Chain A
Amino acid sequence: MAKQSNEPVLWALFSAGGVFAAFVIPVHLFLLGLAFPLGWIPAAGYESLHALARLPLTRLYLFALCFLALFHWAHRFRYTLYDGLQIKHLNELIFVCCYGGAILGTVVAGYLLWSFR
């Protein structure tokens, strides 16, 4: 039997990330990036946000969001570059940069959330 490729795992992460991103990122971004800065909607104060972020469930949610969304980006972006640049040796570099970037981001997210005080 042919060597088992890892594509299914990467695709599964991409899909999970895509679903999660589709459902929650728009509202998060709308509030954080537009509604709150522009004062359209009043944001919760520092104290309550900080208390919310400290909860284990919140940290888990945020970690899952970062992890899956980053792997969603890595997989999709890798294929976008793959379709654009056809040179064999660049394919390996693209692979490493994309998933490596996602791993790096996940580690940073994990560190920030784990050490959150």
Chain B
Amino acid sequence: MPETISLEVLRYSPERDAEPTFQRYDVPLRKDWVVLDALNYIKDKVDGSLTFRWSCRMGICGSCGMMVNGEPKLTCATFLSNYANDAVPVRVQPLRYFPVIRDLVVEVTDFMTKLQSVKPWLIRKEEKPTSEGEYLQTPDQLDRYKQFSMCINCMLCYAACPVYGLDPVFIGPAAIALAQRYNMDSRDEGAHERMDVLAQHEGIWGCTFVGECTEVCPKHVDPAGAIQQYKLTATIERFKSFLLPRGAK
């Protein structure tokens, strides 16, 4: 294994630059280093102005999502040694399809707004008082939504979704998967409230089942599956409301 590895990192400073540029750095190649370690090495030892987001460095906070050689990745989970024998430097760019604020930091308010719009919390007509004890749930009931609950909001799926890239009003994979996480939760009673947001054209109907969101998800949430399943649910609901008397919900 060689001693060093080269990275080409996107630099953009809004005060200085009209367009982003790439800057090349050589960092030590340690067997257990990830791309995030390389970025931190650059910031500590080489160029303190390099700006990027990170936090837990163990794949649970969702902060460090970036493009590595054109693929959306968590930089804390992408080993440098995978690229050790490449002829070209490792390209690190900010998460695709989001506006770039500076260097590798992107503007995520759009995602945050969309996430909030699907009401990702348990909605109940009446909360049970704590004196009555916990809400009980069987393992099978848990199994219905557990996969969708693993989402860490890292937005790699948005960077992989061409529909989101072409049409930014699309609500996006993670938002729909999280809506499903609550829709499928036996404790939740808010499915019809979420349907108004999801059943619009910018909701689930923009999705064409490319499936890349599922491929890049580091937590195996399968947002593509969540979306297709919800299309079926929404369609059945639509036919039911057409066939049943008005007002019956």
**Chain A residues proximal to chain B, CB less than 8 Å:** 1-2, 4-5, 7-9, 11-12, 79-80, 83, 86
Give the distance to chain A from B123, nearest Cβ to Cβ, in Å.
Answer: 16
B166 contacts chain A at the CB level, 8 A cutoff: yes
Number of interface residues of B (CB under 8 A): 17
Give the distance to chain A from B133, nearest Cβ to Cβ, in Å.
Answer: 35
Residue of A7, A11, A79, A86 with most partner-chain B CB within 10 A: A7
B205 with A11: CB separation less than 8 A? yes
**Chain B residues proximal to chain A, CB less than 8 Å:** 162-163, 166-167, 196, 199-201, 205, 208, 231, 234-235, 237-239, 241
Give the distance to chain A from B45, nearest Cβ to Cβ, in Å.
Answer: 44
The residues of B that contact A79 with a CB separation of less than 8 Å are 208
B166 with A83: CB separation less than 8 A? yes
Q: Knowing A2-B196, A5-B201, A7-B201 are in contact, say whether A83-B208 is a contact too (CB < 8 A).
A: yes
A11 with B163: CB separation less than 8 A? no
B196 with A8: CB separation less than 8 A? no
- Give Cα A4–Cα B237 distance, bound, in whole angstroms: 11
Secondary structure at chain A's binding surface: helix, strand, loop or mixed? Answer: helix
Q: Knowing A79-B208, A83-B166, A83-B208 are in contact, say whether A8-B200 is a contact too (CB < 8 A).
A: no
A-B pairs with lowest CB-CB distance, top 5 = A8-B238, A8-B235, A7-B205, A79-B208, A12-B235
Give the distance to chain A from B169, nearest Cβ to Cβ, in Å.
Answer: 12
The residues of A that contact B205 with a CB separation of less than 8 Å are 5, 7, 11
Give the distance to chain A from B195, nearest Cβ to Cβ, in Å.
Answer: 9
The residues of B that contact A80 with a CB separation of less than 8 Å are 208
- Give Cα A9–Cα B243 distance, bound, in whole angstroms: 13
* Further pairs besides A1-B196, A4-B241: 14, Cβ < 8 Å: A2-B200, A5-B199, A5-B201, A8-B199, A8-B231, A8-B234, A8-B238, A8-B239, A9-B238, A11-B205, A12-B239, A83-B163, A83-B166, A86-B167
